[in-house]
Amino acid sequence: MKNKIWKAIYFIYLIILSGFILPSPALENQTAIGYIQNSTEDIETIFRNNIPLQDSVIYTQVPRGLVVSLDSLIFFENGSDEIIEGSKCLLDIIGEILLFIDKPCIIESNTPKNTYKDSCYRSDWELTMVRAEKIADYLIKTRKIPPEKIRAAGFGAMMPFDDNVSFKGNLNRRIDFVILNPNNTILP
């Protein structure tokens, strides 16, 4: 019961803060003439300025690009593969950012061991694959992200969050939005 109350408070917070502002048309014009190169730093700034959950987001710059990590409980109940209705406004914000930056994105789902036991799946890997696919499908269908710009991958418990990164909560249970390095033009 306490968990449901916190989720309700969290989603009310999301709704209140979802009055986000993407870069203005003037910024889009500057982007078109090369003012912003959509470097990994620029992309991180766009996410930071538009994602309302700053304490719940981990940004990691890696050679392949920018990884934006969010707790999967924002999007899914334990063991469930159905996107929580209240989290769709956050996915809408992420979708708008992806359209704006026009870079390929890989959605990677991760979970702690044995999360699948609360589901109809036979493994954590299977559960995370379906979750990543459902987020990708949502972004393609509702935000009109071109299918060739998005991929889904599930890792189950195979990719735990590094111990050298400070974070709050259990981010072994997470959804990563990996924005590929601007030098990468083709999805794997």
Q: Which domains does the chain have, with CATH numbers?
A: 2-180 (3.30.1330.60)
Question: Could you list the pLDDT tens digit for every one of the 188 residues in the chain?
Answer: 555 544 544 444 444 444 444 444 333 433 433 334 568 899 999 999 999 877 788 999 999 999 999 999 999 998 899 999 999 999 999 999 999 998 999 999 998 877 767 778 788 899 999 999 999 999 999 999 999 999 999 998 787 766 545 555 567 789 999 999 755 444 45
Q: How many CB atoms lie within 10 A of CB 97?
A: 24
- 46 in Cβ contact with 100 (< 8 Å): yes
